[in-house]
């Protein structure tokens, strides 16, 4: 019998396969389906403060109160905020009633008030944990590296003052000194790091000469960036590691666990193949474990991480030298 149970953010999960934050987790119906399909946990769709602010601006425009009635504008802003927050808190409460797997909320805020305010309300609504979806795109020429990177530490510190929920931090790889940054973040008291978020990115439509959205969904080949950094950071951080991006099948799950992931997030694979695909991936993981005579996840987690393998430099090869790549 294969045992998929694993620990993540202090919870005992029945599987390391969890459904990542996305439209796949924005209704109680969908969350229940993931739980029924065997997901170890779900991360709900992020509550985006910026989106709420944009909606409030639109409501102010529609009501015609822009410039004329400051009190009316405040009222509309507060109403829009409360309405969106309430909807999200209701989703948490409903999910907690329907499923017995951990329900991890997710937020992305743009103001210093937003993070703690959302976090404390989410805790009261009964979420089991909170993923902080933090991203500063380093495009502002007037801001130095420290200024950008300090945002992450400030957000964590501020949120921790207002909630005792276990926190995970979902980040990108746009850092000057990624390994050190990941390690320092893991020392802040967070319980998990999700490596990495994959963003809405621009592409150019050559026919119409305009910027359009690039592929929204990942391809299996995108696995390797998170695989490298999970492998490098395993055993060098003081928190759990969740792998995200490019995990489309059981083999990819196995690779991430061998590299050292505590859990893996599925998103694009379920968008492409339907929610039922989680069951198929879970069975592929089980089959691999049976074939390789592993009874539990613990037995092979991190077995191919950088600190363990005989050739640690394999994780650091970056140039296409013939000797490594086999082609010129
Ligand atoms: C349609 C869509 C919506 C997403 N929404 C969120 C979100 O609200 N919050 C978040 O942290 N990540 C969000 N993501 C990113 C995913 O959680 C995930 O990190 C990313 O898609 C990479 O994983 P994948 O290769 O399995 O898709 C979204 C991704 C997609 C495709």
How large a percentage of the chain has pLDDT more than 90? 81
In a domain, 123, yes or no: yes
Listed in sequence order, the residues at least 6 apart from 205 whose beta carbon sits closer than 8 Å to its beta carbon are: 211, 212
In 10 A of CB 282, how many CB atoms?
A: 20
In a domain, 1, yes or no: no
C-alpha of residue 48 to centroid of ligand 1, in Å: 13
C-alpha of residue 270 to centroid of ligand 1, in Å: 11
In a domain, 65, yes or no: yes
Residue 298 structural domain: 6-325
Mutate to test the pocket of ligand 1, among 197, 215, 253, 263 (most ligand atoms within 8 A of CB): 197
C-alpha of residue 105 to centroid of ligand 1, in Å: 14
Q: Which residues pair with 13 in a beta bridge?
A: 6
Mean pLDDT value of segment 293-303: 98
Say what the pLDDT of residue 179 is: 98
pLDDT tens per residue across span 241-294: 999 999 999 999 999 999 999 999 999 999 999 999 999 999 999 999 999 999
If we measure between CA atoms, which residue out of 254, 310, 306, 314 comes closest to residue 285? 254
Identify how many contiguous H helices and E strands the chain contains and give both numbers.
11, 13
pLDDT tens per residue across span 9-25: 999 999 999 999 999 99
Number of domains in the chain: 1
Mean pLDDT value of segment 24-51: 96
Q: Is the CB of 218 under 6 A from ligand 1?
A: yes
Q: Strands, E, within the chain: which ranges?
A: 6-8, 11-13, 17-19, 42-43, 47-48, 103-108, 129-133, 167-171, 192-195, 202-205, 210-213, 240-243, 263-266
If we measure between CA atoms, which residue out of 99, 49, 104, 74 comes closest to residue 242? 104
> Which of 54-68, 155-169, 271-285 is the least confident region?
54-68
Atom 23, ligand 1: which residue's CA is nearest? 245
Mean pLDDT value of segment 205-213: 96
Q: Is the CB of 20 under 6 A from ligand 1?
A: yes
Q: Which atom of ligand 1 is nearest to the CA of 199?
A: 15
C-alpha of residue 322 to centroid of ligand 1, in Å: 36
In a domain, 166, yes or no: yes
Listed in sequence order, the residues at least 6 apart from 122 whose beta carbon sits closer than 8 Å to its beta carbon are: 47, 88, 89, 92, 105, 107, 130, 163, 165
Q: Which atom of ligand 1 is nearest to the CA of 266?
A: 26
Mean pLDDT value of segment 50-63: 77
Q: What integer best gives the mean pLDDT of the chain?
A: 93
For 25-71, the DSSP string reads GSSHHHHHHHHHTT-S-EEPPPEEHHHHHHHHHHHHHHHT-TTT-HH
* Torsion angle, alpha carbons of 7, 12, 15, 20, to 10: -80
Say what the pLDDT of residue 319 is: 80
pLDDT band per the 50, 70, 90 thresholds, residue 328: confident
Atom 24, ligand 1: which residue's CA is nearest? 245
Phi, psi (degrees; rounded to nearest 5) at 2: -90, 140
Q: Is the CB of 46 under 6 A from ligand 1?
A: yes
Atom 29, ligand 1: which residue's CA is nearest? 22
Atom 10, ligand 1: which residue's CA is nearest? 21
C-alpha of residue 268 to centroid of ligand 1, in Å: 8
Q: Is the CB of 268 under 6 A from ligand 1?
A: yes
What angle is formed at CA 112 by the lines to CA 51 and CA 82, rounded to 5 degrees?
45
Q: Is the CB of 216 under 6 A from ligand 1?
A: yes
Helices 70-98 & 114-124 angle (0-180, nearest 10)? 40
Listed in sequence order, the residues at least 6 apart from 97 whose beta carbon sits closer than 8 Å to its beta carbon are: none
Mutate to test the pocket of ligand 1, among 17, 18, 21 (most ligand atoms within 8 A of CB): 21
Q: Is the CB of 21 under 6 A from ligand 1?
A: yes
Say what the pLDDT of residue 34 is: 98
If we measure between CA atoms, which residue out of 217, 197, 196, 214 comes closest to residue 205? 214
pLDDT band per the 50, 70, 90 thresholds, residue 110: confident
CATH number (domain holding residue 47): 3.20.20.70
In 10 A of CB 130, how many CB atoms?
A: 27
C-alpha of residue 135 to centroid of ligand 1, in Å: 13
């Amino acid at each position: 019998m294969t045992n998929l149970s694993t620990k993540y953010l202090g919870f005992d999960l029945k599987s390391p396969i969890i459904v990542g934050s996305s439209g796949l987790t924005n209704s109680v119906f969908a969350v229940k389906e993931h739980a029924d399909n065997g997901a170890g946990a779900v991360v709900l769709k992020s509550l985006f403060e910026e989106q709420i602010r944009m909606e409030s601006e639109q409501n102010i425009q529609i009501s015609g109160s822009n410039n004329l009635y400051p009190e009316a504008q405040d009222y509309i802003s507060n109403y829009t905020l409360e309405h969106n927050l309430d909807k999200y808190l209701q989703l948490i409460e409903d999910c907690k009633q329907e499923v017995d797997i951990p329900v991890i909320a997710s937020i992305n805020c743009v103001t210093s008030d937003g993070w703690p305010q959302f976090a404390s309300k989410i805790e009261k609504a009964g979420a089991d944990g909170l993923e902080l979806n933090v991203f500063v795109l380093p495009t502002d020429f007037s801001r130095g590296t420290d200024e950008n990177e300090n945002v992450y530490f400030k957000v964590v510190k501020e949120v921790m003052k207002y909630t005792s929920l276990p926190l995970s931090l979902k980040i990108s790889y746009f850092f000057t000194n990624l390994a050190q940054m990941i390690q320092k973040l893991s020392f802040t008291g967070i319980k998990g790091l999700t490596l990495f978020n994959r963003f809405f990115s621009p592409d150019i439509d050559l026919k119409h000469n305009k910027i359009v959205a690039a592929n929204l969904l990942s391809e299996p080949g995108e696995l390797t960036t998170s695989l490298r950094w999970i492998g490098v950071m395993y055993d060098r951080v003081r928190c759990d590691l969740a792998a995200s991006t490019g995990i489309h099948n059981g083999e990819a799950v196995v690779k991430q666990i061998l590299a050292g992931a505590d859990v893996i997030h599925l998103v694009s694979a379920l968008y492409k193949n339907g929610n039922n695909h989680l069951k198929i991936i879970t069975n592929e993981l089980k089959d691999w474990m049976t074939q390789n005579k592993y009874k539990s996840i613990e037995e092979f987690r991190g077995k191919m991480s950088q600190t363990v393998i005989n050739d640690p430099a394999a994780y650091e090869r970056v140039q296409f030298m013939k000797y490594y790549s086999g082609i010129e």
